[in-house]
Homo-oligomer: A and B are copies of this chain.
Amino acid sequence: MRTPLRIGMVGGGQGAFIGAVHRMAMALDGDFALVAGCFSSDPANTRSTAASLGIAPERAYASFEAMAAAEALLPEAQRIHAVSIVTPNHVHAAPAQLFLASGFHVICDKPLCASLAEGETLAAAVARSGKQFALTHNYTGYPMVREARELVHSGALGTLRKVYAEYLQGWLSSDLESSGQKQAAWRTDPARSGPVGALGDIGTHAFNLLEHVSGLRVEQLHAVLHTFVPGRRLDDDDMVLLRFGGGASGVLCSSQVCFGRENGLSLRLFGTKGALEWQQENPNQLQWTQADGTLKVLTRGGATTSAAARSLTRIPTGHPEGYLEGFANIYRAFARSIRGESDIDAAFPTVHDGLRGLRFIDSCLKSSAASAWHPLA
């Protein structure tokens, strides 16, 4: 008889966005039971969040340190297997290292940390721990993103030449952070977000997606990080020219001041004999221009989709899946890795993807400051 893995959560109290997403994603397949948490630095918030989630009061902890310590002392049949970290960026590294050191698997929101140095320390900690570490670059969990990756790797596009990645939002077009909106407040605060705003929040998603799907590696970049909204302390708009190993080139744009755009992440790849386009807001489709020049619209679960893509779907084609299912695919793969189910497709983004994202941020900062091309190691 299969029982769910027990999991705890750090962050995700009332008023948060991404914590609730993680909880729905982990619930969908019954792989996890959420049994513990430190949901906020405010103990009252933690207690009420725990109550609303049916978590026993004694496992609603006042600090993540207390949680790690107490859970480690519980009998094996009760203590958590893993922890989900959904705090602002500056509170990723410390709990992640502590829980790893305490013997727990970790799944953590992106970006990995608030600085490259922190990230490198954390990557070393993951290596030492022997535990699973997943980073929720959730967009790689979409079935048609996987399908795109399979098509590229199969050679269907020939040699890649051009990549256009963009992630455009409009919700920070005005000075929302001054209104007390929590999401806006921490994402535009260097103390909590780290040295970048839009670039870390969404640009790293686009970067991860493009390298994941294309298999290309950025070698040089020229970034322009800019802040449009007066008074804002972090970039809210980025343009990055890219040169890849092998000769391809591209453009990555991330912006949170593109008025009216909701969650406009898209990827377009052009090769010597084919092209692909995927848009996050219409995620069940993938547009494939074939070698004869005709456009095929592939649908999630469709007759010709790959086994890899189909392994990430739950319901028949035509019944739309969305953001939560893509997110849940990361959790499901994480669960399978914890269970040691190595015979299935257990790929998920790891600490190495996280480090790569931090190096991308670092390189963009240096390029933008110098107004010049900069390498990405």
Interface residues of A (CB under 8 A from B): 1-4, 17, 20-21, 23-24, 27-30, 51-57, 157-158, 161-162, 164, 169-170, 173-174, 222, 224, 226, 228, 237, 239, 241, 247, 249, 251, 253, 255, 257-264, 270-275, 280-284, 289-290, 292-299, 302-304, 314-325, 371-373
Interface CB pairs A-B, < 8 A, 7? A161-B259, A169-B318, A261-B289, A263-B318, A281-B318, A283-B320, A296-B297
Cα A258 to Cα B23 with chains together (Å): 39
Tell whether, in the assembled complex, residue A224 and residue B241 are in contact, meaning their CB atoms are under 8 Å apart: yes
Tell whether, in the assembled complex, residue B323 and residue A320 are in contact, meaning their CB atoms are under 8 Å apart: yes
Please, which residues of chain B bring their CB within 8 A of the CB of A56? 1
Distance of A158 from chain B, by nearest CB (Å): 8
- Across the two chains, which residue of chain B brings its CB closest to A224? B241
- Across the two chains, which residue of chain B brings its CB closest to A295? B297
Distance of A365 from chain B, by nearest CB (Å): 17
Contact pick for A164, options B52, B162, B253, B373, CB 8 Å: B253
Query: Given A251-B251, A321-B324 in contact, is the A161-B296 Cβ separation under 8 Å?
Result: no
Cα A3 to Cα B275 with chains together (Å): 46
Tell whether, in the assembled complex, residue A302 and residue B293 are in contact, meaning their CB atoms are under 8 Å apart: yes
Cα A57 to Cα B2 with chains together (Å): 11
Cα A270 to Cα B301 with chains together (Å): 21
Oligomer copy total: 4
Tell whether, in the assembled complex, residue A293 and residue B289 are in contact, meaning their CB atoms are under 8 Å apart: no
Tell whether, in the assembled complex, residue B304 and residue A292 are in contact, meaning their CB atoms are under 8 Å apart: yes
Cα A98 to Cα B274 with chains together (Å): 46
Distance of A364 from chain B, by nearest CB (Å): 13
Cα A23 to Cα B30 with chains together (Å): 9
| Pairs A-B, 4 closest by C-beta atoms | A262-B318, A263-B318, A260-B289, A320-B322
Query: Given A28-B24, A324-B324 in contact, is the A17-B316 Cβ separation under 8 Å?
Result: yes
Tell whether, in the assembled complex, residue A2 and residue B51 are in contact, meaning their CB atoms are under 8 Å apart: yes
Query: Given A237-B161, A325-B322 in contact, is the A261-B249 Cβ separation under 8 Å?
Result: no
Tell whether, in the assembled complex, residue A53 and residue B28 are in contact, meaning their CB atoms are under 8 Å apart: no
Please, which residues of chain B bring their CB within 8 A of the CB of A317? 262-263
Cα A273 to Cα B229 with chains together (Å): 13
Tell whether, in the assembled complex, residue B270 and residue A170 are in contact, meaning their CB atoms are under 8 Å apart: yes
Tell whether, in the assembled complex, residue B30 and residue A54 are in contact, meaning their CB atoms are under 8 Å apart: yes
Query: Given A253-B164, A262-B299, A304-B292 in contact, is the A239-B237 Cβ separation under 8 Å?
Result: no
Tell whether, in the assembled complex, residue B294 and residue A294 are in contact, meaning their CB atoms are under 8 Å apart: no
Contact pick for A293, options B157, B260, B264, CB 8 Å: B260
Tell whether, in the assembled complex, residue B239 and residue A259 are in contact, meaning their CB atoms are under 8 Å apart: no
Please, which residues of chain B bring their CB within 8 A of the CB of A53? 2, 30
Please, which residues of chain B bring their CB within 8 A of the CB of A21? 315
